[in-house]
Amino acid sequence: MVTGALAQESDQQEWPANAPDAPEWCKSKWGPEDQIGAANLLSPQLALAAAKLVTEGKTYSLGVEVNKNTPAFGPRSWALVINQPGQTGGVGLGPTNTNYNDDIYMGYVGTGSQIDGIGHIGINNVYYNCHKNNVFVQADGLKQLGIEKVPNIVTRGVLLDMTDHFGVELLEEGTAFNRAEIEAQAEKQGVEIREGDVVLFYTGWLSLVGQDDKRYISAEPGLGLDGARYLAEKNVIAVGADTWGVEVIPFEEGTGVFEVHQELIPKNGIYILENMNTAEMVRDKVWEFMFVLGHSKITGGVQAIINPTAIR
């Protein structure tokens, strides 16, 4: 009887993705076992096509430097401790007096440049491919949708300069860009968004870090809900920006809390890349490029600290 009751409770906690009573939005188009979402679009063909964009060999680091003062979405914080195990008082190890330093990171992974995995955001306790919060989310790691499952991303990247579209050096907080603005700026720059792309937006917002951290973290310009749906229709792999949350804040009228995140991650399996440093690329007018991203594969992790490379 106990076994039967537990089995019934488990059935109520989580559906298979193909269960008839599961919400339609949460079912992956790549099947009920899928755990990597839009990364399914990656292929040798995409990598080869991206490699053909390399004409100069110039590389751009898209990650930002991170330290204890880096502003981050609350309650996120970060700290670093350096220690020298077994070397109290400067004592060396062995006959050659070997010394070494180790470092310990303490804090939230979601600080600085990061990738949001598809186990990060849910809707009413349901996540991508119909995984329920009370089943797969455990204190020692996600049991499904972990960041370790995400393959390295090598594909074409597209950068859209939204400051150019709006005619300013720094977009104001609350400035949204949607389908019309994205299409207009893509046409102006002479690029198109294609299936399998990583799409990045430049707003100038990252320039506030170290200058006006309070303003930087309290709001931001960003992607609107219609824009997120447009990019999902385009079948992109990831969407990023030089902001801490990618989507516009304050949220658009009639839009829910982080609903752009909900549209991209749980509904479509599209990854989010936050705090992407693209200022140098904008100065060089690099609008399409080879995008390369490898991340730390922490079992059951939700996010990862990243430093992607763009190559022109």
Spatial CA neighbour of 44 closest among 192, 195, 154: 154
Q: pLDDT tens, 67-87?
A: 999 888 988 888 999 999 999
Regarding predicted confidence, which is higher, 211 or 89? 211
Q: Residue 13's pLDDT is what?
A: 52
Structure tokens that stand for 308 in this block: 């992607």
Query: What number of other Cβ atoms are within 10 A of residue 58's Cβ?
Result: 14
Give the pLDDT band (50/70/90) at residue 12.
very low
- Whether domain 16-69+109-311 has CATH 3.50.30.50: the reply is yes
Take residue 148 and report the two structure tokens written for it. Answer: 């370790």
Q: What is the pLDDT of residues 196-240, one digit of tens each?
A: 999 999 999 999 999 999 999 999 999 999 999 999 999 999 999
pLDDT tens across 135-166, in order?
999 999 999 999 999 999 999 999 999 999 99
Tokens of 107: 């804090």
Residue 170 has pLDDT above 90, yes or no: yes
Tens-digit pLDDT profile for residues 21-34? 888 999 999 999 99
Average pLDDT over residues 103-108: 92
What residue spans define the domains of the chain?
A: 16-69+109-311, 78-107
- Average confidence (pLDDT) over 8-23: 62
pLDDT at 172: 98
Other C-beta atoms within 10 Å of 219: how many?
18
Beta strands 102-107 and 78-83 are antiparallel
Minimum mean pLDDT among 42-51, 102-111, 268-277: which range? 102-111
What is the overall mean pLDDT for the chain?
Answer: 93
Q: Using one digit for the tens of pLDDT, what is the confidence trace for 50-71?
A: 999 999 999 999 999 999 998 8
pLDDT at 1 over 70: no
Q: Residue 70 contacts by C-beta under 8 Å, 6 or more apart in sequence?
A: 64, 78, 111, 112, 209
